[in-house]
């Protein structure tokens, strides 16, 4: 039994692609190892309902941030 991710829930972090900022196009798993501070910030943003995971038509999962809160990196 695998554990749930605090950011992606039951979806594997390797299957969710970041769709904003300097890490756009990378998986959440890659972001977690590259920038652990940003990962923790995203976990907090998720708790505040400021990010969401959507499934695209091509069956990929994308991590989106509320455009009003997204910062230019």
Check residue 59 and report its DSSP letter: S
Residue 39 and residue 46 in contact, taking contact as beta carbons nearer than 8 Å: no
Mean pLDDT by runs of 10 across the 73 residues of the chain is: 85 95 95 96 91 94 81 46
E strand map for the chain: 16-18, 51-55, 61-65
pLDDT score for 73: 42
The structure's pTM equals 0.83
Mode of pairing for the β-strands spanning 16-18 and 61-65? parallel
Q: How many CB atoms lie within 10 A of CB 38?
A: 16
pLDDT score for 69: 62
- Separation of alpha carbons 59 and 21, rounded Å: 22
pLDDT score for 3: 83
pLDDT score for 1: 44
């Amino acid at each position: 039994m695998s554990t749930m991710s605090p950011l992606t829930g039951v979806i594997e972090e390797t299957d969710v692609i970041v769709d904003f900022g300097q890490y756009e196009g990378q998986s959440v798993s890659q972001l977690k190892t590259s920038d652990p501070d940003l990962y923790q910030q995203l976990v907090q943003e998720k708790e505040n309902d400021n990010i969401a995971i959507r499934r695209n038509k091509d069956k990929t999962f994308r991590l989106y941030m509320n455009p009003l809160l997204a910062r230019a990196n």
